[in-house]
Amino acid sequence: MALQPAFFGKRPNDPLASRPLPGQPGAVAGSHPVAAGAAPVAPAPTPAPVQAPAAPIESAATPAISGAPIKEGGSKLTVGPNIKLKGVEITDCDTLIVEGTVEATMDSRVMHITSIGAFKGSAEIDYAEIHGAFNGDLTVREKLVVYSTGRVSGKIRYGKLVIEEGGQLTGDIQFGTANPSKESASAKVGLLAAA
């Protein structure tokens, strides 16, 4: 009869080890497997206690955002594979991870689109990592990273830009996150008011 270890690294007492061997006081003939002619059974080695890993292990579902400072306890929204989120406004979200399809308006801190994810709409964010597809208006205040499988199209504004070989960036692309047409319009109004 095989004994299975209990949960959490604990092991029950071995009932064979606690039985007296034949010839010892309290032994009954035929009560021990050795007395019945069976080969002596060596006690099973005690398993080493299970230790927790030294560092947290990240799963593929929550990839690390390189370059983006990680905020502990921040709010995070993950749109999983095969999920479609349509016609919403996403606010007060520190991190958005897109593994499915999102059609939305968003103002956030970090956005990560996985290779199977797609975002359509408008987004104003600090850091963006795009492995999948983005289509629409994208304003990245700090850093935009487009990986080899990433495709970004539409009206794109960025502070810093990194494009991995094979990544695609098409549309109206400008450096700087401020809208130049608004700045020039407000400057013209100021000049007219001064005249």
Q: Which residue has the higher pLDDT, 179 or 106?
A: 106
Average pLDDT over residues 156-172: 95
Domain ranges of the chain: 76-182
How far is 42 from 24, CA to CA, in rounded Å?
18
How far is 178 from 71, CA to CA, in rounded Å?
25
Q: How many CB atoms lie within 10 A of CB 93?
A: 17
Which whole-number Å values give the CA distances from 130 to 59, 66, 87, 117, 135, in the listed order?
Answer: 18, 12, 21, 9, 11
How far is 7 from 186, CA to CA, in rounded Å?
69
Q: What is the CA radius of gyration of the chain?
A: 31
Looking at residue 184, what DSSP letter applies? H
| Structure-token match 């406004």, residue found | 89
Tell which residue, 154, 144, 93, has the closest CA to residue 120. Answer: 154
Average pLDDT over residues 10-20: 55
Average pLDDT over residues 30-55: 51
pLDDT surpassing 80 at residue 36 = no
pLDDT for residue 195: 41
CB distance 147 to 165 below 8 Å:
no
- 88-124 residue pLDDT tens: 899 888 999 999 999 999 998 999 999 999 999 999 9
pLDDT surpassing 80 at residue 178 = no
- 56-85 residue pLDDT tens: 333 344 444 455 555 566 899 999 999 999
Please, which residues have CB within 8 angstroms of residue 97's CB and are 6 or more apart in sequence? 61, 62, 63, 76, 77, 78, 79, 112, 114, 117
